[in-house]
Amino acid sequence: MDRRTFVLSAAAGIASVGLARGGVEPRVGKSFRLELGHQLPDPFCIRWQGAWYLTGTHSTRRPPGGPVYDMYRSTDLRSWTPLGPVLRFPDYEGSDRANFWAPELLAHDGKFYLYYTADSNRDPYRRYVRLAVAGRIEGPYRDRGIRMTAQPSIDANPNWTVGGEGWMFFTGNEGNEHVGQVLVDRLISPGQPAGEARRVFPDETVPWEEGAYLLPHDGRFYLFTSMGNWRDGSYHVLLSVASRPGGPFVRLTAGGSPLVILRSHAGMLGPGHNSVFEGPGGVPYICFHAWDQQHTGRYPYVAPLRFEGGRFHVEL
């Protein structure tokens, strides 16, 4: 992937990424853990105006009604400065006893959109993708008071492609007629889904698939998804491809089985729920979580991606 192609395609996760202005690109090797001092499941990392920003499911211990989702900033991918929690606590029925996780960002027309999952009263049947908006990437983000899906759902991945199409991938949660399946809906605007949700893989039903992330490359669209049990080493990342951002998608295969591009490896157990961002030198990097050997938590890792033979390879 050349530098221009990746910069254009990065709108799949967040628009208008840019390389560092002035100074020297940091030298980073292959896969390594991001040292924050604590775990960070479902990590989302992006590059914005010469720095990297990281957020995820972990949030600082907060008082009831306190802000949610810690964010971190780095200029070298090694040292991270905490920016504090960035989402103002949402006020809706049951939010005082809600869980919050899997935040992802989209930049569009001068605003930043935070798509996140939250429930009501810790009830999985009342678990939806929600939306918050800010004028700066650091926030504060304020909930818009709307659900982005008609049925219970988790793990939204918003996209605004170079051609001006908006799409949102997510997974049906308990109470959804397509529970455990990856779904996609068209976005009329960042805050207005078309209400046309459909299954990404209509010809199959899997036990559970989540954490979708769309990446354009050379006129095609690659969808990363996670499957297996997030609680153990069976969690892994699959790759599919389509000619249009909304699909239809076809799973890449190896030996007649779905292609696994990331699995447990060298002390990283159950890697998955990834995002992709522009790394040093314009190289695409994948960001994902994995359990440590002691199973104390799911920690964030990054690794460069290499495109070869019609697929992406994770450089572990």
Inter-residue contact 46 to 52 (CB < 8 Å): yes
Domain architecture of the chain: domains with CATH:
3-314 (2.115.10.20)
pLDDT tens by residue, 120-178: 999 999 999 999 999 999 999 999 999 999 999 999 999 998 778 899 999 999 999 99
pTM as predicted: 0.91
Instruction: Report yes or no: 275 and 43 within 8 Å, Cβ to Cβ.
Output: yes
Question: CA 25, 28, 29: angle at the middle one, nearest 5?
Answer: 150
DSSP code at position 30: S
pLDDT band at 24 (very low <50, low <70, confident <90, very high): low
Q: CA–CA separation, 142 vs 113, rounded Å?
A: 10
CB 143 within 8 A of CB 90: yes
Each residue's pLDDT tens digit, 251-263: 999 999 999 999 9
Q: Tell me: pLDDT of 26 over 80.
A: no
